[in-house]
Amino acid sequence: MVVETYTAEVEKMNEALQKEVERLREILTVPKPKELDQGELLNLKADLRMLLDTMDKSAAQRRLAQELEKALETGDEVKAWLLGASDWPSLYMESRGVLPEEWEKTKETVLINRQDEKQAEARRLLKLLTGKQKSVATTIKSVRFYAGVCVDKLP
C-alpha cells in the first residue's frame, strides 16, 4: 500500500511538472495570429524563397534570422509566427542542407535577444525544470527509478 501511494504521489508531481512546462513553453512561443490568411502565408513563403534561393545556405540562414528579428520588431504577426513558431523555416533550411537543429539554435538566439522579462523568467524556469542535469524532471525520473527498484525488492 505504501509503494502504491508513493508511486501515485510521484505521478502527481510529474503531471504538475508537465503542466508547468507546457505553460512556460506557451509563454516562449511566438503566438499564432488570430486571423491567418492562407493566401498571405503562401505569398510570404514564395517571397522568402525567392530571396533565399539566391543565397548560399549560411547566408540564407542569417537572412532568415534577420527577417525574424525584423518581424518581431515591427509587429508583423504572420511573418513572426511563420519564422518563429512554424516548422517552415526548419524544413526550408533542411532542404538547403542545413540540419534542423542548426536553424533552431539560430532562431532561439533571435528569440532570446528579443525576449521581455516575463519570457526571460519563463526560459530560466524551463531550464531549471527540464535541463539535462540537476532539474526537476531528472529528479522525478530518479524517484521513479528508485520506486521501481523498491517494488522489485518487495517479497
Q: What is the pLDDT of residues 135-153, one digit of tens each?
A: 677 777 777 777 666 666 6
Report which of residues 103 and 6 the model is more confident about.
103
Residues 133 and 103 in one domain: no
41 pLDDT higher than 70: yes
Interval 79-102: pLDDT, tens: 999 999 999 999 999 999 999 999
Residues 97 and 76 in one domain: yes
Structural domains of the chain, count: 2
Contact criterion met (CB below 8 Å) for 17 and 137: yes
Among the ranges given (33-42, 54-63, 136-145), the one the predictor scored with the smallest mean pLDDT: 136-145
Residues 45 and 21 in one domain: no
Go through 78-98 and write b for each residue having 16 or more CB atoms within 10 A of its CB, e for each that does not.
bbbbbbbbeebbbebbeebeb
pLDDT of residue 133: 66
Residues 123 and 97 in one domain: no
Considering the entire predicted model, what is its pTM? 0.75
Length of the chain equals 155
Give the domain extent around 15: 1-30+116-155
Query: Looking only at Cα atoms, what is the longest distance across the chain?
Result: 69
Residue 29 is given by DSSP the state S
Residues 84 and 65 in one domain: yes
Give me the chain's average pLDDT, please: 87
| Percent of residues, the chain, with pLDDT higher than 70 | 87
Residues 11 and 50 in one domain: no
Report the alpha-carbon distance of residue 56 to residue 155 in Å, rounded.
65
